[in-house]
Structure 1
Amino acid sequence: MIRKGVFLLCCMLLNLAVLDASPNSNKDFYSITIEDFEAYAERLYIALNDSDLHYPAFETALKGYLKLQKEGEIEEGSLLTVIDMSVSANKNRFFLIDVPNEKIIHKSIVAHGRNSGGEFAKDFSNKVGSFKSSIGFYRTAETYSGKHGLSLRLDGLEFSNDNARERAIVIHAADYVSTSFIKKNGRLGRSLGCPSLPKENYTQVVQKIKNGSLLFIYYPHTNYLKNSKLANYVVKQEIGITNLLNSQ
């Protein structure tokens, strides 16, 4: 009877492990034991293997991603979008990251607000009518058809961007976000505060990230980095079913 009971328990655990093996499973993702966040973040960054994505932006975004996914505030297994506003607008600074599968599946240029700066964004605001970009973590929401066509609403999750809805800060495509515009004008065009994207592959990107994924707009702003609870989240050790099986 004891042997039979042990056998049945092992079968149950094995079935759970199989269920958790889906790349879209929150439990599977957190079955990874994170004993040292810095080591984990560095290993994941190396696996992404793209020098266009700067490490400070990625590391900060990953902290918020881990916290919000653990708390169920973003969709399980969802993609992570990182926009690095510390980089020239003429370079790729929009990155769509598949964290569980450790790869960047899309990258492109992206516009910032016209009052945030020229080629480089330097000034940010959460105020209505500022026409500036807002840094921080956002959760993607529903799509709608506006003056720019297909658009994706964003909900700001922090003190630095919680007026996003009121300000109509959304993702949309624009003609001024293109390499041809850069060649003609010397820099990318600018928005009224929205992270505007190129028209190429735009619809596919929106379909991938709509309805509950995480988007992070990074800039090394002292006040933000000091006061953001998400940017300063301390990742604690996470133990899941994989570790339970290995400990038997």
Structure 2
Amino acid sequence: MNKVLLTLTAVFFVTTSFYSPEVTTRKTEANLKARPSKSVLKAESKSITTSAEEIYTTIKFDNVNKLNPEVFYKAFLGFENLKKAGKLPAASHLLTVCDFSLSSTENRLWVIDLNEHKILFNSLVAHGKNTGEEFAQKFSNTESSYQSSLGFYITESTYNGNNGYSLKLLGMDSGYNDAALQRAIVMHGADYVSEDFIKSQHRIGRSWGCPAVPRALAEPIINSIKGKNCLFIYYPDNQYLSNSEWLKSEENI
């Protein structure tokens, strides 16, 4: 009987000796490495903040209106999230920002080259006629509302229409601007977006919801940002800012 027990013990020892604690430890470590920790995700989130700060602090705003750093950060965060989602090409480096919290008499549109840390354009830009007078106040995603729409857009192709050379915009924020193509919300030039109009009316003219720019700048701006680049129309609307999927940090996506 003792011989049988000794034989079984020996067999058990031999068969289990292949499953060493070292192998188990390696498997556990591999599984842990495969799953990013919360601290890693937070570090990635911080990297966007750091990148935004580095770019912003090196941009020269000489002779142009200075973009609010908080608005730039939000625009940059959405830009990065759109790239990660495959909505923008990996090589995309142009970011256009419209800050509709500012007076329409100010140059509140910026086209920024993120690679060169350079302002390419700083221009007047119109909001919709039912969005407000000098200042924007109301926004809509509804057809025939004649209001501007908040959020992130991806620039598409160009065409010549009733307003001349124009740029199609694809709204990326569901419920806020995703009806842009249906509403014919495009970037185009307009004579009412000018210093002369400001002198006579104390504001620029208003569009039917389009981010219209000065006639002389329409073609160079459109040609610079056409074809899968990012446009962000900002306003401190708490509901939009908390709901946009593009403004969520990585740990919340």
Higher helix share: 2
Deviation digits for residues 17-73 of structure 1 (CA, Å, limit 9, x no counterpart): xxxxxxxxxxxxxxxx87543333222111113352111211111001111223331
Aligned counterpart in structure 2 of residue 38 of structure 1, from 45, 49, 61: 49
Matches within 5 A, 1:1-248: 35-50=46-61, 52-75=66-89, 76-159=91-174, 160-234=176-250
Give distance in 2, aligned partners of 1:117 and 1:34.
Answer: 36
Deviation digits for residues 182-207 of structure 1 (CA, Å, limit 9, x no counterpart): 01111110000000000123211111
1:136–1:157 contact (8 Å) kept in structure 2: yes
Alignment identity in percent?
43
Aligned length: 204
Q: Secondary structure at the match of 2:134?
A: coil
Q: Secondary structure at the match of 2:149?
A: coil
Give distance in 2, aligned partners of 1:224 and 1:162.
Answer: 13
Give distance in 2, aligned partners of 1:65 and 1:49.
Answer: 21
Give distance in 1, aligned partners of 2:57 and 2:231.
Answer: 21
RMSD: 1.7
Q: Which has the higher contact order (CA 8 A, sep 6+)?
A: 1
Which letter maps to 1:192?
A: W
Q: Which structure: larger Rg?
A: 2
Give distance in 1, aligned partners of 2:82 and 2:198.
Answer: 36
Give distance in 2, aligned partners of 1:103 and 1:235.
Answer: 30
Q: Secondary structure at the match of 1:224?
A: helix
TM-score normalised to the size of structure 2? 0.77
1:65–1:214 contact (8 Å) kept in structure 2: yes
Deviation digits for residues 81-127 of structure 1 (CA, Å, limit 9, x no counterpart): 00000111000111001012211111101000010101110110101
Give distance in 2, aligned partners of 1:178 and 1:70.
Answer: 37
Give distance in 2, aligned partners of 1:149 and 1:116.
Answer: 23
Q: Secondary structure at the match of 2:120?
A: strand
39 and 113 in structure 1: CA distance in 2 versus 1, 3 angstrom threshold: same
Structure 2 unaligned blocks of 5 or more: 1-43
Equivalent position of 1:26 in the other structure: none
Deviates more, 1:37-46 or 1:198-207: 37-46
Cα offset, 1:150, TM superposition: 0.6
TM-score normalised to the size of structure 1? 0.78
